[in-house]
Structure formats: C-alpha cells, structure tokens
C-alpha cells in the first residue's frame, strides 16, 4: 500500500451497510488521534488500554451524530480504574472532522499493572450520554459493567437500552511501522442489525446478570443473517483491524464480500478539546470572593487544569467570581 493510501484512512470512521443482511456498521482507524490522547498523560499500561478501547468505541458509536451534537461515554467503577471518560464532538459543518478527547482517573496505590485491564474497573456502570444542544435535555442510558471487556459492555448497552443487536471487534496498542518510532494505533469494526419494526426481545434475557444479549432480539432469517455476519467478523485478524497495510474497504471485501457491502463517505477524526480561559472563568463565576480566596495559591493566583488536554490556566483572583463580574450569584447563574 502506498503512503498516500495509508494517510487517506488514518483517523477516519468509514460507515457501511451489508445489503443482503440488513446490517449496518463502521470501520474505525485511530492513529495520530489515539497517540495524542495517550501521549499527554502518564497512564499505567492497563489504563492506556482501557482509554484506547473506550476511544475506539466512542468514535464508532458517535459517527452517526448530527452536526454539533456531542456523545459522551463514561465508565465508572469501584476498582483502581475509577473513571474512563470520552467525548465525541460531531463536526461543526459538513466535511469537517469530528473531534475526540479522553481522560482517565485511577487510584495509583491500588493499581496492579500486571492485571487484566477490565478487571481493574470492578463493579460499576457503563453510560452513554448524548448532548443534543444547549437548550435540550441530554439523553442518558446506563447499564452495569458486565461481559469482560468494554466492547461487551457496549454490546450489552445497545441490547438492554436500545434493543439493537450490536457487535464490536477492536485491536489497539503501540506499534512501530518501518522507519518510525513506536506509537499508538487502534482499529475496530462495529456491526448493528437494522430493525424492520419496533425491536423487542424474543424470549428470556440470556446476557450476564439477566441482561439482554444481541441474539435475544432476533429470530428466523434475521437471526441467521446476524449469526453469519458475526462468524465472518470472528475471522478478522488484529493486524487487519489496525492497518495500515489493509485498507478499510479491502477489509470489508475480505470479510463480507458475499453480503454486498456498500460504503458511505468516511468521517475524518482529530483530537480536540473545548476547554478555554473563557470557559474556566464561566465555571468560576458562581463563586463568591470568599470562595475565590480559598482557591488562591500562595503565589496569589487561581489555577485550573484541563483533565482532557492538560491545558494549564493561571488567573488573577481579582478578575474571577461573580463579584468580580459586577453581579450577584443569582444573576450569573441565570
């Protein structure tokens, strides 16, 4: 494969449909975006793996969002990996890249770097939140942590909350291409059955903990089509998911050529964060001068750090808080 072909698919999500199976899907490739997400934090290896898997899921799930919407994925647990949070910002205009960011919080004293990453989450929940705009109430769906991987959690979420049979296959890790240093790459495939009518479970829930599984919602030809597509996806190799030697279109033909795959326009991705000094000032505008004084450092400044991108803000305490803005707290909050 030529370098130009490789670059064409770096940091993209390619939507597709299998016309003979009523199945839609996406192929994701995260290259410099994933490297940027992880390089700015000093995460232990298991936390890096959880962030990489969550970022791939977020990119594939978020691709269908309308312009300017935001999708957030949150995994919270009672183990050493306390929080994995990602945001997908849909493009501001047609043809613009979507933006992706991620953050993890963990207890370093309880961290076992030799442990299987998913086991470090413990008991908790997997949540997807869709922000549709400033004047709209966010949509939120929550399911328990279950299944042995974040991919399995996402599959359970779609079965339980959306009653949509869904399957993910991902691969990620630090890779070194010829003549390059090692850097993070990730790739994945998402399959989702298209419901012909209002979806409903066909029988008892067979998932872990009594939750619904994908096959609980399908029967007859639909179940056969779904099982066949999943068997084909089972043959995918990690290197095929990661690329760059195998282009996403070639991967789809290799896996699903008998299912009549049809591709749509690829969505470019980039690292992006919405933090700014103005947003920091806005978040501090609810505090009184006394509150601001308690936040002031020995150097006489108020500081704030963005957990997602690492930006560091240093502000004059006399210029922040609702009293500095010349109004009351109620006025600022309104």
Beta-ladder partners of 140: 129
Residue 172 predicted with pLDDT over 70: yes
Reference 26, options 167, 178, 161, 129; nearest CA is 167
Domains and CATH numbers, the chain: 3-271 (3.55.30.10), 277-333 (3.90.1280.10)
279 CB neighbour count, 10 Å cutoff:
13
Mean pLDDT of the chain: 87
Residue 124 CA to residue 145 CA, distance in Å, equals 5
Burial code of 28-63, b = ≥16 C-beta within 10 A, e = fewer?
A: bbbbbbbbbbbeebebbebbbbbbbbbbbbbbbbbb
pLDDT in tens, 12-24: 999 999 999 889 9
pLDDT band at 196; cut points 50, 70, 90: low
Q: Report phi then psi at 87, rounded to 5.
A: -135, 135
**pLDDT band for position 30 (cuts 50, 70, 90):** very high
Q: How confident is the model at residue 325 (pLDDT cuts 50, 70, 90)?
A: low
Q: Residue 3 pLDDT more than 70? A: no
**Contacts of 164 by beta carbon, 8 Å cutoff, 6+ apart:** 158, 192, 193, 195, 199, 217
Of 63-67, 176-180, 190-194, the one with minimum mean pLDDT is 176-180
Residues 6 or more apart whose Cβ sits within 8 Å of residue 69? 90, 130, 131, 132, 133
- Between 289 and 48, the higher pLDDT residue: 48
Question: What whole-number distance in Å separates Cα of residue 212 and Cα of residue 165?
Answer: 10
Q: What pLDDT shows up at residue 205?
A: 64
User: How many angstroms from the chain centroid is the CA of residue 32?
Assistant: 16
pLDDT at 334 over 50: no
C-alpha to C-alpha distance for 11 and 9, rounded to whole angstroms: 6
What confidence score (pLDDT) does residue 9 get? 82
**302 and 315 in contact (C-beta within 8 Å)?**
yes
Would you state the pLDDT for residue 209?
Answer: 65
76: β partners: 83, 125
DSSP 81: E
Q: Is the pTM of this model over 0.85?
A: no
pLDDT digits 0-9 by tens, 209-257: 666 667 667 778 888 999 999 999 999 999 999 988 899 999 999 999 9
Q: Supply the DSSP string of 131-192, one letter for each residue.
A: E--TTSPPEEEEEES-SSSHHHHHHHHIIIII---EEEEEEEEEE--TTS--EEEEEEEEEE
Residue 321 and residue 284 in contact, taking contact as beta carbons nearer than 8 Å: yes
Q: What is the per-residue pLDDT for 326?
A: 56
DSSP string of 36-70, one letter each residue:
HHHHTS---HHHHHHHHHHHHHHHHHHTTPPTT-E
> How far apart, in whole angstroms, are the C-alpha atoms of residue 249 and residue 14?
9
Q: What is the mean pLDDT of residues 128-140?
A: 88
């Amino acid at each position: 494969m030529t370098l130009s072909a490789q670059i064409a698919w770096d940091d993209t999500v390619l939507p597709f449909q299998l016309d003979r199976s009523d199945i839609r899907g996406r192929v994701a490739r995260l290259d410099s975006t994933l490297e940027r997400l992880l390089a700015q934090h000093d995460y232990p290896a298991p936390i890096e793996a959880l962030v990489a898997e969550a970022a791939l899921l977020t990119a594939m799930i978020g691709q269908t969002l309308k312009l300017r919407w935001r999708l957030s994925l949150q995994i919270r647990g009672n183990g050493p990996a306390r929080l994995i949070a990602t945001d997908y910002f849909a493009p501001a205009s047609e043809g613009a890249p979507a933006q992706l960011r991620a953050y993890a919080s963990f207890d370093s004293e309880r961290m076992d770097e030799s442990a299987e990453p998913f086991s470090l989450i413990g008991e908790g929940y997997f949540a997807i939140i869709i922000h549709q705009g400033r004047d709209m109430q966010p949509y939120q769906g929550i399911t328990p942590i279950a299944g042995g991987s974040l991919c399995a959690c996402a599959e359970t979420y779609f079965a339980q909350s959306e009653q949509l049979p869904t399957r993910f296959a991902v691969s990620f890790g630090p890779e070194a291409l010829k003549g390059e240093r090692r850097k993070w790459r990730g790739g994945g495939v998402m399959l989702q059955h298209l419901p012909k009518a209002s979806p409903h479970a066909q029988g008892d829930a067979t998932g872990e903990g009594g939750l619904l599984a994908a096959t609980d919602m399908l029967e007859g030809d639909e179940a056969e089509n779904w099982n066949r597509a999943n068997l084909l996806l089972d043959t995918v190799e990690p290197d095929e998911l990661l690329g760059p030697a195998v282009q996403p279109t070639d991967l789809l033909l290799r896996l699903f050529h008998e299912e009549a795959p049809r591709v749509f326009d690829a969505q470019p991705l980039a690292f992006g964060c919405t933090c700014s000094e103005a947003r920091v000032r806005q978040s501090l505008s609810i505090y009184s001068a006394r509150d601001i004084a308690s936040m002031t450092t020995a150097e006489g400044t108020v500081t704030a750090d963005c957990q997602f991108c690492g930006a560091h803000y240093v502000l004059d305490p006399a210029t922040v808080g609702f009293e500095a803005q010349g109004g009351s707290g109620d006025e600022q909050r309104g």
